[in-house]
Amino acid sequence: MKRYASIFATFARACLVRDMTFRVNFLLECVTSIGWMSMNLAFYLLIFTFTPEIGLHTGWTREPFFAFVATGLIINSIVQALFMPSAEELTEMVRSGGLDGVLVQPLDAQFLLSMHRVDFSAFANGFIGIGLLAWAIVRMDATPTPLAWLLYPLLIVCGVAILYSLVIMLAAATILMGRNQSLYDFWFYLTNFSRYPAEIYAGPWGSPLRTLCTFVIPILLVVNVPARVIAMPLEGQAVGMVLAPMIAAAASLALSRVVFLAAISRYRSASS
């Protein structure tokens, strides 16, 4: 474990050196991503000029909702910074045969393929998310309990683990298919569902979607549970709610490992 941490630190250092080599590009990426995020926040502010709450009696008033958005920003920035760059590069590596060089190295291939690139500019949104969370919590009626503060980072880790598992399974599909340029698009469509409170998925169309995105592809547990824990008082159902992402994270990680190993064993390599 220590060795892997040390190798990851070396990867991160190399990526930082590379990012600093292309400073303007790095700054542009930060600015673009903060700009996009600011537009989203402005849009949400606009919504709250029309309604005091997202859904009747859901509890998602302005400040809790911004705590929700902040949680999403933090989780997504971690995934975007640590895992997405490597997963996106995998498509090209499979097509060009660059994966060969990874498979001969004495390291776990899944670790190497999912963490060898770090996009530091993606952390920019995470920092904004932390600021937004602080702003929302200070203005909320109820202050989070010590237990909520304890659970929040743990549930963030679970959310990241669920998203990471999805990324890895999509990347594994790249290995099996030889080419999967829609990886990022598919990822975007999937994670779109996690960007809003689960309560909006109601009615004849919403309920099945909520069931699907909670129990089959547990994308709704990623942001909803940590956001609810930090933004709303914990009630009777809290144990089940808190355990669900933990179980989902463990199951997702296990499944992604199986899928990844199966994909690697079927790797054909590219002609030289």
Partner 1 sequence: MHNSNDKRTCGDALGEPSLIAVTGLAKDYRVYDKPEGLLASVTGLFHRTSRLVEALKGVSLTVGRGEFVALLGPNGAGKTTFLKLLSGIITPTRGTARVLGHVPWERADDFRRRFALVMGQRNQLWWDLPAAESFRLHKEIYRIDTPRFERTRDELVDLLGVRPLLLQPVRELSLGERMKLELVAALLHEPEVLFLDEPTIGLDVVAQHTLHTFLSHVQTERQMTVVLTTHYMKDVAALCERVVVITHGDILYDGSLGDIVDRFTTHKIVTLDLDDTPSHERMAGFGFPYEIRGPQVILRIDRARIADVLPDILRSQSVRDVSVEDVPLEEIVAELFRSGESPATARFAEALP
Residues that bind partner 1 (CB under 8 A): 3, 6-7, 10-11, 14, 17-18, 21-22, 96-98, 100-101, 103-107, 109, 265, 267-269, 271-272
Look up tokens 């824990």; give the residue: 229
Nearer to partner 1, 1 or 104 (CB): 104
Least distance (Å) between residue 101 CB and partner 1:
4
Please provide residue 61's backbone torsions phi and psi, each rounded to the nearest 5 degrees: -80, -175
Instruction: Report the residue number, 101 or 206, with the smaller CB distance to partner 1.
Output: 101
Is the Cβ–Cβ distance between 51 and 146 less than 8 Å? no
Between CA 211 and CA 67 the distance in angstroms is: 24
**Nearer of residues 49 and 272 to partner 1, judged by Cβ:** 272
In this complex, which beta carbon is closest to partner 1, that of residue 103 or of residue 134? Answer: 103
How far is Cα 245 from Cα 194, in angstroms, rounded to an integer?
A: 13
At its nearest, how many Å lie between partner 1 and the CB of residue 13?
8
**For residue 218, which phi and psi values (nearest 5 degrees)?**
-75, 50
Would you say 145 or 269 has its CB closer to partner 1? Answer: 269
Angle of CA points 137, 74, 18, to nearest 5°: 140
CB of 17 to partner 1, least distance (A): 6
Question: Closest separation between CB of residue 117 and partner 1, Å?
Answer: 10
- Which tokens belong to 212? 């699907």
Alpha-carbon distance 2 to 239, whole Å? Answer: 33
The least distance separating partner 1 from the CB of residue 99, rounded to whole angstroms, comes to 8
